[in-house]
Amino acid sequence: MASSDKYDRQTRLWGAHGQRALGEARICLLNAGPTGTESLKNLVLPGCGFVTVVDGEKVTEGDVGNNFFVSRADIGSPRAEVTLSHLLEMNPDVSGEARCVDPSDLIGGEPGFFEGFSLVIASQLQRDALLSLSAVLWSMNVPLIAVRSYGLVGSMRIARPVHVCFEAKEAQAVADLRIANPFPALQAFADAVDLKSCDDETHRHLPYPVLLVKLMGEYAAEHGGQPKTFAQRKAFAKWVGTQRRDITTDEGVPIWEENFDEAVANASKASLPTPLRPDVADVLADAKLDALESTDDDFWFLARALRDFRAAEGKGESLPVSASLPDMTATTALYLRLNEAYKLQATLDRAAFCAHLERAREAAGCDEKRPVSEGVIDRFLASCQSIKVMRYRPIAMELSARAAEDGAAAAAADPAAADGEAEAQGQYTSAVKEAVAELQMMGETNVSMCPALWAVMLRAADDFQCATGRFPGAGASPDLIADAAEVAKYAAVHAAGYGVADHVTEEHAQEITRYGACEPHVVAATMGAVVAQEAVKLLTQQYVPVDNTFIFNGIATTAAVATL
């Protein structure tokens, strides 16, 4: 073994700072059935700091059959303690506590318990308890992941007023090399180059940003300006290709100038300032930036400074330059010289950015003695072309769109839902309909397996449970046919609301009913994986979490995300 870091394979994704965020996290799990323990398993392994397991059950034989974190010897013992002990045994870096109490009692009787958690994972929580919990956590600004496994179907819902992604890591987001609007050091490098008189070795190793800035200058001088139209930009790219030199080795073997390949590939965009990614544009347009308060997260001050920098030093079109240059054809010396130019500009931009940051903080009355750390500023600038802000729809708003008569009552359970988006109150989102339409557009004639339809069915099962006190098909010798008929009625209401009445069938109701609320391990493991994946994103503020529901259909193994 050549590495002494057991987290090596994950810190290559989220870095030491991401690992630190996980290590400082306090996670609360409600209900320690397999869906819950599988979620925690995937968070204890990567080193999440502290876990609290809340569960009021005693271990049964059935638990031994679907929950890996209980054993035969544990039958009859409190499930919270048993699962916690088996979970912690996996990773000595993690500590935790067990609360042997029914989560519903805790939510109702001791809501203050949830203050201070970095994340609450509610597994298999029934609707009323979930609504109460979501209202409590929303007001505390504690993120909630609600997860359930139900037969072969599963769902995971995130709720949090606002989530910010410091490092969204959008694949298409690449650093702006400022070819269209070169900064002085880059322009100076290009100006110092003479493509006609330089030796062959230099000619074939000039980094392509330098080539493009140089050639753009020549083109502009000759044509009275930079290429503007699509045709002109294409013509420029073609012309760049003609500026190659015929070079051969001493033995007469031709050498192809690869730096010109790179220049041609980037030439047609060379006169266009790099546009903001839509996610970044959204952040910079966020009304929050004009109403900063001293208690706000650093992110908002950094975003405000970014906006101000772009308007001032960035002349309305550039973000701060990144110090790291991607690899490209060049000699070591030419590459390092170019990298120095970028580093120099990055230093200047950072200083200007920090001045904006200070002004924004001062205006909001932030404590001077608690500045934004240098490391946070560096990381923010390194990934400022890929930041994102997300605002979640409250769970109460989703569930208020149930039967009309109790819609208002459900909305009242969540005060946050009541203000702001009044027009959306009680509305089914278009997500389910869109999901079906998308499948149809791809040529699918049988949409019965569309994951979003199964989210509708879970709601119908919950309606049944609210009305009867048991889930359809559950309990001692249930009448499956009668239960399914009842479920179908509830499903029809939601299907109509979501605009998919034609696609929710009696067969869907029969399938949901046959499950009888069973919790098979593979579905629990699938959902637990998704919970942990999203939890890591929420806790590290890296990557982009799901907005807002992940639905798994294990009948045909299809899955989708929908905003419900």
Partner 1 sequence: MAAAAAASSGDPAGAESTGTVPATAAPSLADQYRSIDNLLLRPSPFGNETGSLPNGEFEPGEDTKARLLSEAKVLVIGAGGLGCELLKDLALMGFRDIHVTDLDTIDLTNLNRQFLFRMSDVGSGKSEVAAKFIMERVPGVTVTAYTKPVQEFTTTWFRNFAVVIGGLDNIEARRYMNEALCELVVRDEDGDIDPSTIIPYIDGGTEGFRGQSRVIIPFVTACFECTLSMFPPAQGFAMCTVSSTPRKPEHCVAYAFMVLWEKERKGEKLDKDSPEHMRWLFDKATERAAEFGIEGVTYKLTMGVTKNIIPAIASTNAYVSATCALEAFKIVTFAGQTMNNYHNILADYGCNCPTYPLERSPQCPACGPQMSVNLSVPRATTARELAEALTSMPLPVVDSEPITLSEVMIGSVPDVVFATAGIKGGWHDRSKGNADKPLSELVEDGQQLTVRGPELTEDTVPRGASVTVNFAD
- What is the closest distance, in whole angstroms, from the C-beta atom of residue 360 to partner 1 in the complex? 28
Among 77, 85, 226, 533, binds partner 1 (CB under 8 A): 533
Site for partner 1 in 334-353 (CB under 8 A): 335-336
Three-state secondary structure call for residue 155: strand
Core vs surface per residue 553-562: b (16+ CB within 10 A) or e: bbeeeeebbb
The reply to whether omega before 548 is within 30° of 0 (cis) is yes
Q: Partners of 242 in the beta sheet?
A: none
What is the footprint of partner 1 within residues 373-432 (CB under 8 A)?
none
State in angstroms the smallest separation of the CB of 19 from partner 1: 10
Q: Is 330 in the site for partner 1 (CB under 8 A)?
A: yes
Would you count residue 526 as binding partner 1 (CB under 8 A)?
yes
**Phi and psi (nearest 5°) for 250?**
-60, -25
Least distance to partner 1 from the beta carbon of 96, Å? Answer: 16
8 lines the binding site for partner 1 (CB under 8 A):
yes
- Interaction between residue 528 and partner 1 (CB under 8 A): yes
Report the residue number, 139 or 331, with the smaller CB distance to partner 1: 331
User: Taking CB under 8 A as the rule, does residue 47 contact partner 1?
Assistant: yes
**Contact call for residue 12 and partner 1 (CB under 8 A):** yes
Residues 83-112, interacting with partner 1 (CB under 8 A): 90-92
Binds partner 1 by CB under 8 A, chosen from 264, 536, 538, 539: 536
Nearer to partner 1, 73 or 403 (CB): 73
Residue 552, SS3 per DSSP: strand
Q: Are 364 and 293 in contact (CB under 8 A)?
A: yes
Q: Collapse the DSSP code of 270 into the 3-class scheme (helix H, G, I; strand E, B; otherwise coil) and give the result.
A: coil
Q: What long-range pairs does 271-274 form, CB within 8 A, spacing at least 24?
A: 271/180, 271/216, 271/226, 271/227, 271/228, 271/233, 271/236, 272/180, 272/233, 273/176, 273/180, 273/181, 273/317, 273/318, 274/176, 274/178, 274/180, 274/318
Rounded Cα distance between 156 and 167, Å, is 23
Contact present, 10 and 56 (Cβ < 8 Å): no
Q: Does 561 bind partner 1 (CB under 8 A)?
A: yes
**Least distance between partner 1 and beta carbon 317 (Å):** 25
Q: Which stretch binds partner 1 (CB under 8 A): 130-138, 304-312, 346-354, 445-453?
A: 445-453
- Identity of the amino acid at 384: C
- By CB under 8 A, what part of segment 298-327 binds partner 1? 327
CB of 375 to partner 1, least distance (A): 17
Q: Are 277 and 174 in contact (CB under 8 A)?
A: no
Binding of partner 1 at residue 42 (CB under 8 A)?
A: yes
Q: How far is the CB of 82 from partner 1 (least distance, A)?
A: 12
Q: Are 204 and 259 in contact (CB under 8 A)?
A: yes
Rounded to a whole number of angstroms, the minimum distance from the CB of residue 69 to partner 1 is: 9
Contact segment (CB under 8 A) with partner 1 among 101-109, 176-184, 424-432, 523-531 equals 523-531
Integer Cα distance of 476 and 454 in angstroms:
25
What's the N-to-C CA distance of the chain in angstroms? 47
For partner 1, which residue of 389, 532, 538, 539 counts as binding (CB under 8 A)?
532
Contacts of 558 (CB under 8 A, 6+ apart): 449, 450, 451
Using CB under 8 A, which of 357, 361, 550, 564 touches partner 1?
Answer: 550
- Least CB distance from residue 71 to partner 1, whole Å? 6
* CA nearest to 487, candidates 457, 453, 445: 457
Q: Which of residues 451-510 bind partner 1 (CB under 8 A)?
A: 473, 480, 507, 510
Range 50-79, binding partner 1 (CB under 8 A): 60-62, 64-68, 71-72
Stretch of 179-187, 234-242, 425-433, 526-534 lying at the interface with partner 1 (CB under 8 A): 526-534
Residue 525 sits in the site that holds partner 1 (CB under 8 A): yes
Instruction: Determine which residue in the list 25, 133, 341, 546 makes contact with partner 1, applying CB under 8 A.
Output: 546
Give the distance from CA 372 to its chain's centroid: 23
- Minimum CB distance to partner 1, residue 115 (Å): 27
Residue 119 β-bridge partners: 27
Distances from the Cα of 337 to the Cαs of 65, 204, 484, in angstroms?
Answer: 64, 16, 72
Which 178-207 positions form the footprint of partner 1 (CB under 8 A)? 205
Residues with Cβ within 8 Å of 209's Cβ and at least 6 positions away in sequence, in order, are 177, 178, 179, 186, 328, 338
| Positions in 123-162 near partner 1 (CB under 8 A) | 151-152
Contacts for 12 with CB less than 8 Å, ≥ 6 apart: none
Q: According to the binding rule CB under 8 A, does residue 262 interact with partner 1? A: no
Q: Which two tokens stand for residue 142?
A: 């504690």
- When binding is defined by CB under 8 A, the residue of 58, 127, 169, 470 that contacts partner 1 is 169
Longest CA pairwise span in the chain (Å): 92
Partnered with residue 122 across adjacent β-strands are 30, 146
Question: Minimal CA–CA distance to 302: which of 372, 383, 349?
Answer: 372
All residues at 6 or more sequence positions from 233 whose CB lies less than 8 Å from its CB, including other chains: 227, 267, 268, 269, 270, 271, 272
* Whether 158 contacts 142, CB under 8 Å: no
Residues 228-257 that bind partner 1 (CB under 8 A): none
| Rg, the chain, Cα only | 29
By DSSP bridging, strand 254-255 and strand 50-54 are unpaired
Could you tell me which stretch among 123-131, 354-362, 492-500, 530-538 binds partner 1 (CB under 8 A)? 530-538
- The reply to whether 7 sits near partner 1 by the rule CB under 8 A is yes
Number of residues that bind partner 1 (CB under 8 A): 87
Closest contact distance (angstroms) between CB of 551 and partner 1 is 10
Nearer to partner 1, 136 or 146 (CB): 146
Of the ranges 184-192, 228-236, 399-407, 545-553, which one interacts with partner 1 (CB under 8 A)? 545-553
